[in-house]
């Protein structure tokens, strides 16, 4: 399907300048690389049908091949299309190319799921990364519109990424410090649980922009600014609370009563029971809660750009304001990458921390 899409839909778009709509070009505009890309997509399709669920390494190989060839093909297309065009002309990534990339991602995740050995994962990701970097340096990928936007932003881009991570990370950290104990209290005291879960649940239903607006009032009463990093972090923390509190509570409540009884009957104190028995058993769910919170917070951190915090959201709002699609992408794509990275890191953390005795049951 990705193959068909990649052939039928426009591959690259040539525009006279960064704002106005442009002319679509098919995959052939990339010349030889275009043919290669079609071949790689074909290989991916074959691999996915032939090795369904069996050898993940073939899927990984196909995915990295598609990614690398796609990057070079886009670079080639950009170079070809811009040859002889006006100086302000831009080449954007077309729908076909996006779909091919999405297809590669699907293949990659399917392969990563089926592959038990780690080396195939490592090799395929390094090949894809090297291929991308190579295309960026030598293959003309740097001439695509999104890369031009990146170059225009310069060091400010990385500053935005840094702020984005700092704001999201701080909020997540505070939410963990507050949320986990609240989850424990919820598991211990049914009356408190009803109140706490209701409150964090209600917070979750408030739209993010509305929450930022609402926060101005109490902050002003305390003599604190209603814009800037402080309210931003407060809002993000509030959003992160629900998954963390809820999953900590569910994790603890799910511990088999007989296990707790055995622990008590052998003379464990309340805190020993919590630390040595209940916490390790609830850990998979606690980490799961933190994972959901992390992904959520990385997303919502874009919105706090509205109150003057320099997150990646700033690029998105700027891009929308200027109707510069590729600037929007420059903000959105790294956010997706950050969310996926955080998700993956916390999954790995879970693997490392959760006892092998309960690992399978937890996932």
By the rule CB under 8 A, 352 interacts with another protein: no
User: Distances in Å between the alpha carbon of 237 and those of 117, 212, 282?
Assistant: 37, 12, 22
Q: Give the nearer residue to another protein in terms of CB position, either 31 or 280.
A: 280
Backbone angles phi, psi at 14, to 5 degrees: -100, 125
Contacts of 149 by beta carbon, 8 Å cutoff, 6+ apart: 18, 324, 326, 327, 329, 330
Distance CA 298, CA 168 (A): 6
User: Under a CB-based contact definition with an 8 Å cutoff, are residues 215 and 235 in contact?
Assistant: yes
By the rule CB under 8 A, 262 interacts with another protein: yes
- For another protein, the binding residue among 261, 320, 351, 363 (CB under 8 A) is 261
By the rule CB under 8 A, 280 interacts with another protein: yes
Stretch that binds another protein, among 9-17, 43-51, 177-185, 269-277 (CB under 8 A): 269-277
Stretch that binds another protein, among 34-42, 94-102, 255-263, 300-308 (CB under 8 A): 255-263
By the rule CB under 8 A, 268 interacts with another protein: yes
By the rule CB under 8 A, 253 interacts with another protein: no
User: Distances in Å between the alpha carbon of 151 and those of 106, 185, 201, 325?
Assistant: 29, 50, 42, 15
Question: What single DSSP character describes residue 274?
Answer: I
- For another protein, the binding residue among 17, 126, 156, 269 (CB under 8 A) is 269
Rounded to a whole number of angstroms, the minimum distance from the CB of residue 286 to another protein is 13
Q: Give the nearer residue to another protein in terms of CB position, either 222 or 361.
A: 361
Stretch that binds another protein, among 143-151, 181-189, 256-264, 312-320 (CB under 8 A): 256-264
Rounded to a whole number of angstroms, the minimum distance from the CB of residue 363 to another protein is 14
Q: Give the nearer residue to another protein in terms of CB position, either 43 or 362.
A: 362
Q: Which of 255, 291, 292, 250 is nearest to 275 (CA)?
A: 255
- For another protein, the binding residue among 55, 143, 264, 347 (CB under 8 A) is 264
Rounded to a whole number of angstroms, the minimum distance from the CB of residue 351 to another protein is 14
Q: Which of 14, 151, 16, 145 is nearest to 87 (CA)?
A: 16
* Positions in the binding site for another protein (CB under 8 A): 256, 258-269, 272, 277, 280-281, 354-358, 360-361
């Amino acid at each position: 399907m990705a193959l068909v899409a990649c052939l039928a839909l426009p591959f690259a778009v040539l525009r006279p300048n960064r704002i106005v709509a442009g002319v679509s070009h098919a995959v052939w505009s990339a010349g030889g690389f275009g043919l290669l890309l079609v071949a790689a997509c074909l290989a991916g399709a074959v691999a996915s049908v032939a090795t369904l669920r069996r050898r993940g390494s073939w899927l990984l190989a196909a995915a990295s091949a598609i990614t690398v060839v796609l990057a070079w093909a886009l670079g080639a297309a950009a170079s070809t299309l811009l040859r002889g065009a006006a100086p302000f002309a831009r080449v954007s990534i077309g729908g076909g190319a996006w779909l091919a990339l999405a297809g590669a991602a699907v293949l990659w995740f399917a392969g990563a799921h089926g592959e038990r050995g780690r080396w195939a994962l490592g090799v395929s990701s390094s090949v894809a990364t090297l291929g991308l970097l190579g295309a960026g340096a030598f293959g003309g990928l740097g001439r695509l519109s999104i890369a031009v936007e990146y170059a225009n932003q310069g060091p400010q881009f990385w500053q935005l990424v840094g702020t984005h991570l700092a704001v999201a990370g701080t909020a997540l950290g505070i939410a963990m410090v507050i949320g986990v104990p609240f989850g424990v209290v919820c598991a211990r005291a049914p009356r408190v649980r009803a109140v706490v879960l209701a409150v964090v649940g209600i917070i979750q239903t408030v739209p993010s922009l509305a929450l930022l607006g609402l926060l101005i009032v109490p902050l002003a009463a305390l003599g604190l600014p209603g814009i800037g990093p402080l309210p931003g972090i407060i809002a993000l923390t509030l959003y992160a609370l629900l998954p963390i509190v809820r999953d900590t509570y569910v994790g603890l409540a799910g511990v088999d009563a007989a296990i707790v009884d055995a622990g008590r009957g052998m003379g464990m104190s309340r805190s020993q029971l919590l630390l040595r028995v209940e916490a390790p058993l609830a850990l998979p769910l606690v980490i799961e809660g933190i994972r959901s919170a992390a992904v959520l917070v990385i997303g919502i951190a874009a919105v706090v750009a509205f109150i003057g915090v320099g997150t990646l959201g700033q690029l998105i709002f700027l891009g929308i304001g200027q109707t510069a699609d590729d600037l929007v992408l420059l903000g959105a794509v790294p956010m997706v990458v950050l969310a996926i990275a955080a998700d993956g890191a916390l999954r790995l953390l879970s693997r490392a921390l959760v006892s092998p005795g309960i690992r399978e049951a937890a996932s």
